[in-house]
């Protein structure tokens, strides 16, 4: 790297180092944040390492999630010998630093991206509560967001060169995204749309390249889904029909936007309108770029992805039931939205008179500094809270200092061999004691509930704080079966059912 190149990237390197340090800071007290999904990924990686198979803690093939992230964790375990949970803080810190560096690299190549714009964007990315929340947990989004940035770079290279090697790299990155998170099909769709709109690609070549791209980008996902169907008869695991209509999901999308911009919850009543305006604006940007500029610019690529991914989350939430639209689900479009909502301001500033140029520059700078300041305030509040008990999840003090958790860790032989174990939080039981258990049936699946009630002998490990309304409850079971209490704590209990009633 020449001195000139270093001077153009030193600010990005500094921002990347700050990002790494922030992840270290948040995870110092109790380690990386652990959620049920984290345990799913980790157990699959451990089993792949020990037994050569992607089996989760509940002895089933991983199907709710694609296979690449647990495979990625296994690679880390294979080469370092460090368990994914222990390696989590450093691993996520490195990925977050890489994300910041790639973001700076992309911003530097905006057509109207001067150094001041880059300096205003980098702090907003580094201090983003949405991104910091993602990168302090062992979640597949950490890898997915990083793959997205590589996708933008690979897509740009293909749209400029139109060669077969760049096409295959472009398709390969899209393929990896789809087996990291199923939402990666949005990257496949984004790439296909951009190729379709590419006016510089001759029609005959366009048809051939789109066919090659479609097959290459979707082939690995197709294999993943085929494996799921062969092992569990379900393509993406058990899915329930959505209970939230489209307009309600638009509203939830808008509330996340309010949270990201630091607006008061008093604006939540306008959240639906905010979401609609945002989608209309992104659509207008993409259409304008197609007719008046170029679809191959980095600015257009991030705007197109933000539009397609945002619509995908809203529509899929309307069709399929999963967690309500929140920051975690929308985190992959934080950087694209940030850039889409700001890069046009630089072009406006450049095209006004000298007097207005300085005024608008100062106004834009103050707005972005204010945005970064409210992010910093939120980060400091979160750190102040979590510095006392850790990142919320199975690694925080509510579990580290739990009497029931301590009992489970020391008394692993409390369960007799050969007798099935059920729990309302089977991932918690595995994380705390390494004990395998089955999850209680979902209320939605009536046949599973009836099958559960026919079991003659089992243990039930109950965590009151994890009471999930989606599952049958302890009260439901007691109404039907007579349970024997084996051990009772304020934060949990162990029951046994042995054929009575």
User: What are the pLDDT digits (tens) for 233-243?
Assistant: 777 766 666 77
Domain co-membership, 253 together with 322: yes
pLDDT tens-digit series, residues 65-86: 889 999 999 999 999 999 999 9
Mean pLDDT over each residue of the chain, to the nearest integer? 90
Give the span between the Cα atoms of 66 and 181, in whole angstroms: 6
Question: Is 167 within a domain?
Answer: no
Question: Is 1 within a domain?
Answer: no
Across 11-25, 211-225, 273-287, 466-480, least confident range: 466-480
Grouping H, G, I as helix, E, B as strand and the rest as coil, residue 79 is helix
Domain boundary residue among 326, 343, 360? 343
If pLDDT is split at 50, 70 and 90, which confidence band does 2 have?
A: low
pLDDT tens-digit series, residues 161-174: 999 999 999 999 99
Question: Is 223 within a domain?
Answer: no
Question: Is 161 within a domain?
Answer: no
In the chain, the number of structural domains is 2
pLDDT tens-digit series, residues 272-300: 999 999 999 999 988 988 887 788 889 99
Give the span between the Cα atoms of 66 and 245, in whole angstroms: 26
Question: Is 259 within a domain?
Answer: yes
Q: Calculate what percentage of the chain has a pLDDT beyond 90.
A: 62
The model carries a pTM of 0.92
If pLDDT is split at 50, 70 and 90, which confidence band does 324 have?
A: confident
Domain boundary residue among 295, 316, 343? 343
- Start-to-end C-alpha separation, the chain: 76
Per-residue confidence (pLDDT) for residue 500, from 0 to 100? 65
Per-residue confidence (pLDDT) for residue 346, from 0 to 100? 82
CA-nearest of 411, 460, 405 to 431 is 405
Give the span between the Cα atoms of 176 and 350, in whole angstroms: 39
Question: Is 408 within a domain?
Answer: yes
Domain co-membership, 250 together with 339: yes
List the beta strands (DSSP E) in 337-491.
421-423, 438-439, 457-462, 484-489
pLDDT tens-digit series, residues 30-63: 899 999 899 999 999 999 999 888 888 878 888 8
Domain co-membership, 338 together with 410: no
Domain co-membership, 246 together with 328: yes
Question: Is 172 within a domain?
Answer: no
If pLDDT is split at 50, 70 and 90, which confidence band does 1 have?
A: very low
If pLDDT is split at 50, 70 and 90, which confidence band does 321 have?
A: confident
Question: Is 22 within a domain?
Answer: no
Q: What is the domain extent for residue 471?
A: 402-498
Give the span between the Cα atoms of 1 and 394, in whole angstroms: 43
């Amino acid at each position: 790297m020449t001195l000139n190149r270093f001077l153009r990237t030193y600010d990005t390197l500094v921002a990347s180092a700050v990002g790494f340090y922030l992840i270290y800071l948040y995870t110092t007290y109790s380690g990386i944040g652990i959620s049920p999904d984290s345990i799913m990924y980790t157990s699959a990686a451990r089993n792949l390492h020990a037994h050569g198979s992607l089996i989760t803690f509940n002895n089933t093939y991983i199907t709710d999630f694609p296979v690449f992230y647990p495979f990625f964790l296994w690679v880390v375990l294979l080469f370092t010998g460090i368990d994914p949970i222990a390696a989590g803080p450093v691993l996520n810190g490195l990925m977050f630093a890489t994300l910041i560096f790639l973001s700076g690299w992309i911003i530097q190549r905006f057509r109207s991206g001067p150094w001041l714009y880059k300096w205003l964007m980098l702090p907003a990315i580094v201090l983003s509560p949405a991104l910091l929340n993602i990168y302090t947990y062992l979640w597949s989004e950490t890898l997915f967001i990083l793959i997205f940035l590589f996708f933008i770079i690979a897509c740009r290279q293909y749209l400029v060169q139109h060669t077969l090697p760049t096409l295959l790299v472009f398709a390969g990155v899209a393929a990896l995204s789809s087996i990291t998170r199923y939402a990666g099909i949005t990257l496949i769709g984004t790439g296909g749309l951009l190729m379709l709109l590419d006016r510089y690609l001759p029609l005959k070549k366009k048809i051939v390249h789109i066919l090659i791209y479609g097959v290459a980008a979707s082939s690995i996902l197709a294999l993943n889904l085929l494996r799921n169907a062969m092992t569990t008869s379900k393509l993406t695991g058990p899915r329930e029909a959505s209970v939230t209509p489209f307009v309600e999901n638009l509203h939830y999308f808008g509330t996340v936007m309010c949270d990201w911009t630091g607006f008061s919850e008093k604006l939540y009543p306008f959240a639906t309108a905010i979401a609609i305006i945002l989608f209309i604006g992104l659509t207008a940007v993409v259409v304008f770029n197609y007719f008046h500029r170029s679809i191959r610019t980095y600015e257009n690529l991030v705007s197109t992805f933000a539009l397609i991914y945002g619509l995908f989350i809203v529509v899929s939430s309307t069709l399929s039931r999963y967690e309500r639209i929140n920051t975690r689900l929308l985190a992959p479009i934080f950087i694209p939205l940030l850039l889409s909502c700001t890069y046009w301001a630089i072009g406006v500033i450049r095209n006004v008179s000298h007097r207005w140029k300085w005024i608008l520059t100062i106004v834009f700078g103050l707005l972005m500094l204010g945005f970064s300041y409210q992010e910093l305030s939120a980060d400091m509040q979160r750190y102040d809270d979590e510095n006392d008990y850790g990142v919320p999840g199975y690694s925080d003090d509510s579990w580290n200092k739990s009497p029931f958790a301590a009992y489970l860790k020391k008394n692993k032989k409390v369960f007799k061999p050969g007798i099935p174990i059920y729990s309302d939080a089977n991932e918690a039981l595995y994380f705390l004691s390494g004990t395998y258990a089955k999850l209680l049936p979902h209320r939605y699946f009536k046949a599973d509930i009836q099958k559960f009630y026919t079991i003659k002998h089992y243990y039930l490990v109950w965590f009151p704080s994890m009471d999930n309304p989606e599952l049958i409850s302890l009260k439901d079971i007691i109404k039907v079966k007579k349970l024997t209490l084996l051990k009772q704590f304020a934060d949990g209990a162990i029951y046994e059912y042995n054929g009575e009633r």
